[in-house]
Structure formats: C-alpha cells, structure tokens
Amino acid sequence: MWKRRTLGLLFIGIVCFMLLLARLMQIQLFKTEAFSKHNVNLLEESVKQRTQELVIDNGRGNFLDRSGDPLTHKKATVLVLFPFLKKMDWDVESVAEITRIPKDSLLTSIETAKKPFAYGEPDPVELSSFQMDRINGLKIPGVFAVEKKFERTEVPAEQLLGLTGENAEELKKRYPDKELSEKTLIGVSGLEESFDEFLLPEGKSKLVYHVDGGGAPLFGINVKYVDPANPFYPVNIRTTIDKTLQQRAENLVDQYQIRKGGLVLLDLQDNSVLALVSRPAINKKAPYDGIGISNQMVKQQIVGSVFKTVVAAAAIEQNLDNPNRLYNCSKKINGKPELKYDYGMLNITESFARSCNRTFGELAKELQKMNLNALEQTASKLSLIDSVGWQGDIYHTSDFKQLPDEDKGRVFISDEARHDANFAAMSGIGQHEVRATPLAVANMMATIARGGQKEMVSVVSKIEYKNGTTMADFSKKNLKGDIISPYTAMKLQKLLREVVLNPNGTGRWFKELPYEVAGKSGTAETGKFLNGKQLHNKWFAGYFPYKQPKYALVTVNLDVPDNEGGVNLLFADMVKMLYEENN
C-alpha cells in the first residue's frame, strides 16, 4: 500500500515538475517576445527593470513633403546627458565650451534628472555636425551628441496626415499574424491610418545603460546604442504636399477667421494635392473630441450654386444652351418675385456669371423631362459625386485607397425626389439633396481645365525605403466612367471665365489678379440657424491661369451667417501667393 502511495506521489511530483519546466521553457525560450494574450515582450520588460534608456527614434515610418522635407517630425543633433554624471567627475568645461551652454546650466540640468535627456527639451539646443564630432571626440561616458527624432507640436495638414495612438485590441484585430508589442503605435485617422501597415516599426533606436536598484551604473558606465539596423525600414511616405505652401495657406485660412471650412489646392500637372487646410484644427488636449479630427475637405457639403456648373454642362450636351434664349431673373425658381437678386431678363451666359437661380432651376426641370438621370450622369462625368482619391493595386495590396475616409457626393437620395419637378429645380441650384466634397469640387475644376479628362487625385507620390530607394510608386491614373466632350469643356471654360470678366459677375473681384482666373461662386443655405440667422456655406472654386492652367483651387467657409465670408479674399491671396512663388 505504502509503495503505491509513494509511487503516486512521485508521479504527481514528476508531472508538476514537467509542467513547471514547460512553463519555464515557454517563458524563457518560446514566448520571450510575445508572452500571453497581451503579447508582452519578456526580454524587453526584463531589460527595462535594470536599464535606463533614451529613445532616439520610435521606429515608425515618416511623412515627407514633395521635396523630401519631414512633415510630422524633425531631426536635430542634440546633446544627450545621462543622470549618473552627477555621481562622477567629468569634463563639463569642455562640453560647455563646445556647445556654448553655460557650465552651471549643464550641471543643474543633470542634478535634477532621473533619466537620460536631450538638453533643453522640449525645445532642445541644436548642435552643428562640427560640434557633434567634437563632443563625441571627448569620449566622456554619459555625454553624447546624437541625431534625435522629435515629433512636431504643430503638424501641417494635420487632418490629412492623421493621428496615431495605442490600442492593443485594434492592433491585434488589424494584424493577427504579427507579433507586436501592445505599446505599438497605430494610425487612427488620415494617412497614418491608410498607410499604417507600411509605417509599423521594426524596433526603436535608443541609447541604453544598465543600473542597480539605486540608479547607479552597473558593469561600469558603458552606454550602448541599440538600433534595428535594417537598411530598408522605417519607410518614408512622400506626400504631394508642398510644406511651404501648406503653412502659408494655413496662415491665410486663420487670418480670415474661417472656423469651419478651409481650402484645397491641386497641381494640374499630376493632379496632386499641393495644400489642404481643414478647420477647425485638432484639439491637442482632447484630439478625439469634437469635429477637429475630421478632414472637412473630404466630407460631403452642400455646394449651392457651384453645382450650376453641372447643370450648364448638361444643358450644353443636350443643346439647351441657346444664347438667344432669355430667362426671367426677376423671379425666384418658384415663380415668386425676386426682390433681393432682381436681375431682369438674362441669357445663359449672363445667368451663369450672375448666378441666377431661375435660369438653372428651369434648365434642371427641362433636363429632368428629357432624362431623369441627366444631372447625376453629368455630375459623374465631371468627377463631382464619385470618389476621386487615388485607389488601385500597390505593392502587395489590392484596391488600396489613399483616402479611405473620403465621402462620395450625390444629387438625389430618393427616386421620388428624382421624379419631382420642384426637387429637380432645387437641385439645379445645388440645394435640396445635392452634396459634394471640396476635394471633388476642386477636381471638377481640374477636369474642366484639362478639357474634360478626369483623373484621380493623389496625396502621396511614393513610398520610399529608409535608404532612399522606392518601394512603390503611385502613378497618375484616370477615373473610370464617361467624360464630357472637349466641346462641352471649352464652353464651360468660357462660362467660368465670364464669371470673372462680367462687370456684374460673382467673381469680378478676381479680374485684376496677376493670374487670369476662371471659376464659380456658391452660397448654399444649410438649414441651420444661429441666433435666428440662417447659416450658409460660402464657396469659390476655380482654376488658373486661364489659358495655360496650372492650379485648381477651392476655398470654402461652412455654416456662417450671410454677412460672413472670407472665401473671396482667401482665394485671391492664394492666387497672389502662387504668382509670387513662380515669378
């Protein structure tokens, strides 16, 4: 009996020992970098307990402007000091002489430090390459001059580029087959989100030293430089943004106190975004609260009279643009007297220049009788209601979208509205259910300027490896679907130019600009009220120079009273700025 009991206890002991051994093997051999469901890196955590470190680069990919200048960060050569210096004698006089930082300031900063730091953070003192070489030549343990990556506090085109954050659950959902630390940053909006898979870090670059329980150095005072040492990663996303133009555009938008709205500037040569400003800005203290995180330039808005461009195009294609036909612009679209905008009898060219609602309400109803889908089909031909952001197959990804959060536009929601003559008239002036994004409006102007050819809009030109070679190119692509005829495009170009040339045109303010402008204004009722006042969306959309187009530009101020605007002045100043840049 006692033998069986002893054998039983021995068996249980062996089983427990084997389970413990298996657990130890799991922890120390097999799951060292992704332990438990939280993917804890045990090696990193064990090292953290006995080391102090300064992260030089978090390893996530970077965004550059079209010239290769960093947008979301800057790299600066800085003086790095380690806190163990307070416990040793070191040549502070030489460091002070080389860096031109007072000796007492250096000693004071170290005395209060508990971890390694770049001197002067968050606004560190930048060193030259000559100073860096001299500092490192001193070979003082705990004193280094290194190039460190700093995140910018003010990021240009911040809604377009987007935000990052830590979210362990979302990380696992996106990348179930990757072993990533829970602390890995992921993109949560904008290009940070759409390009997230390319931007994931391979590891951090950092300076590390070992400490005892009191923070004193272990194993002497050797500091190690830790780097993933991958010549290809992290990658750089080269955007089409011109950083200088972007910053100047943002200053102008704020100068004209556009609280909700912004602008889109396209380069017609490759149909890329040169500058994009969205307001309100992101709230730095609570970035996910409110609408600041949303890029208003890719969200559908009520476009108002800008949509008359579509009606004019449809009328031209259906031979309804008889120049001798006159419209009674002393009446509203419902037939009642027009007291505010009493223009008398106008032909289609005058009506477009002065933005007569009656003309385009009647034309929309006539087009509806001829073809229920005429307005929608023409809006699509002009790239107004479809997605216009670049999409296609890239690298190992099919149907990749640069702007996945881009809204589509629309003319009608319901078939009932499509059949109703009154709704057709309201749609003809860009009201009722008509919606489009400012980006699509800019692309419509670009399409007309090119003679009808409609192209995708790109905000990224290529993905580059760390060593500067190209991983993937985003080549210029046409949008699918029917297009307007060159004849229609030519007539639209003349109509848009007449808006500026006509002494009573809604764009007459732009006649004296250094570039010849063609475009269309819009004032849309939003159905919202503030202090009893109807709120409007104010637009001006156009392209320039008229004869040899280089740019398409949209300026928009959303949800403002009728007496507020700013879009004309903003448009004009952008044109002047671009002229000065090129001359």
pLDDT band at residue 41 under the 50/70/90 scheme: low
Q: Tell me the β-bridge partners of 436.
A: 301
Confidence of residue 50 (pLDDT cuts 50, 70, 90): low
CA gap 480, 454 in Å, rounded: 8
Would you give the distance in Å from CA 326 to the centre of its chain? 45
d(CA 528, CA 535): 5
Cα(116)–Cα(118) distance, integer angstroms: 7
pLDDT the model gives residue 513: 98
Judged against a pLDDT cut of 70, whether residue 25 lies above it is answered with: no
Catalytic residue status for 272: no
% of the chain residues with pLDDT over 90: 70
The average pLDDT across 416-429 equals 95
CA distances from 499 to 110, 192, 491 (A): 66, 40, 13
- Return mean pLDDT, the chain: 90
How high is the pLDDT of residue 211? 63
558 lies in the same domain as 529 = yes
Per DSSP, the three-state class of 421 is helix
Report residue 155 CA to chain centroid gap.
10
Q: Is residue 37 part of a domain?
A: no
Higher pLDDT, 114 or 367: 367
Q: What is the C-alpha separation between 301 and 18, in angstroms, rounded? A: 66
CATH of the domain at 257: 3.40.710.10
Task: pLDDT band for 532, please (50, 70, 90 cuts).
Answer: confident
Q: Please indicate whether residue 55 or residue 63 has the higher confidence score (pLDDT).
A: 63
Residue 30 lies in a domain: no
Distances (CA, A) of 307 to 102, 303, 311, 361, 582: 64, 6, 7, 11, 31
Asked whether residue 406 falls in the same domain as residue 546, the answer is: yes
- CA 241, CA 157: separation in Å to the nearest integer? 8
Pair 446, 381 in one domain: yes
Domain with residue 204: its CATH number is: 3.90.1310.10
Burial string for 522-545 (b: 16+ CB within 10 Å, else e) reads bbbebeeeeeeeebbbbbbbbbbb
CA dist., res. 166 & res. 183, Å (int): 6
Are 334 and 456 in a shared domain? Answer: yes
Indicate if 482 and 541 belong to the same structural domain.
Answer: yes
Helices (H), 76-195: 92-99, 103-111, 129-138, 158-161, 168-174, 190-194
> Is residue 25 included in any domain, yes or no?
no
Give the chain's domain count: 3
pLDDT grade, residue 285 (50/70/90)? confident
- Could you tell me if residue 4 is inside a domain? no
Is 39 within the bounds of a domain?
Answer: no
Q: Based on the domain organization, do 138 and 211 belong to the same domain?
A: no
- pLDDT beyond 60 at 237: yes
Strand duo 551-561 + 272-279: pairing: unpaired
CA–CA separation, 219 and 209 (whole Å): 9
Is residue 12 very low, low, confident or very high in pLDDT (cuts 50, 70, 90)? Answer: confident
**C-alpha distances in Å from residue 352, one per residue of 19, 84, 158, 489, 505:** 83, 75, 36, 15, 8
Residue pair 235/466 in contact by the 8 Å Cβ criterion = yes
Same domain (yes/no): 121, 253: no
Q: What is the gyration radius of the CA atoms in the chain, in angstroms?
A: 31
- Distances, alpha carbon 424 to alpha carbons 31, 80, 428, in Å: 65, 68, 6
Neighbouring-strand partners of residue 150? 74
Q: Residue 233's domain spans which residues?
A: 51-72+152-239
What's residue 33's pLDDT?
54
- Over residues 200-228, the mean pLDDT reads 69
Nearest CA to 55 out of 230, 225, 232 is that of 225
Q: Is 10 part of any domain? A: no
Same domain, 209 and 108: no
* Among candidate residues 223, 239, 255, the one where a domain is terminated: 239
Residues 61 and 96 occupy one common structural domain: no
Q: In whole angstroms, give the CA distance from residue 348 to residue 371.
A: 20
Q: Which pLDDT tens digit goes with each residue over 493-504?
A: 999 999 999 999
Evaluate whether residue 36 is within a structural domain: no
| pLDDT over threshold 60, residue 315 | yes
Calpha distance 53→217 (Å, rounded)? 12
- Same domain? 268 vs 395: yes
- Domain end (from 95, 122, 151): 151
Burial of 557 (0-12, 13-18, 19+ CB in 10 A): buried
State the pTM of this model.
0.88
Q: Convert the pLDDT of each residue in 78-92 to its tens digit.
A: 999 988 888 888 999
- State the pLDDT at residue 23: 65
Give the pLDDT confidence score for residue 19 in this predicted structure: 67
For 522-550, give the DSSP string: EEEEEEEEETTEEEEEEEEEEEESSSS--
Domain ends where: 207, 239, 271? 239
Which tokens hold the place of 479?
Answer: 């949008």
Cα gap 418→552, rounded to integer Å? 31
**Location of structure tokens 């027009």:** 338
Q: Using alpha carbons only, give the angle 579, 581, 583 rounded to the nearest 5 degrees.
A: 65
Averaged over 139-155, what is the pLDDT? Answer: 88
Pair 342, 415 in one domain: yes
What is the helix (H) or strand (E) element at residue 129, kind and residue range? helix 129-138
Q: Which of 305, 355, 387, 427 is catalytic?
A: 305
Mean pLDDT within 217-233: 67
Peptide bond just before 122 cis, omega within 30 deg: yes
* 221 and 196 in a common domain: yes
Query: What are the pLDDT digits (tens) for 98-145?
Result: 999 999 999 999 998 888 899 988 888 999 999 999 999 998 888 999
Q: Report if residue 31 sits inside a domain.
A: no
Q: If pLDDT is split at 50, 70 and 90, which confidence band does 286 have?
A: confident
Cβ–Cβ under 8 Å, residues 127 and 256 = no
Quick check: 219 pLDDT over 50? no
- Is it the case that residue 214 has pLDDT exceeding 80? no
Phi then psi for 513, rounded to 5 degrees?
-70, 155
Amino acid identity of residue 158, one-letter, is E
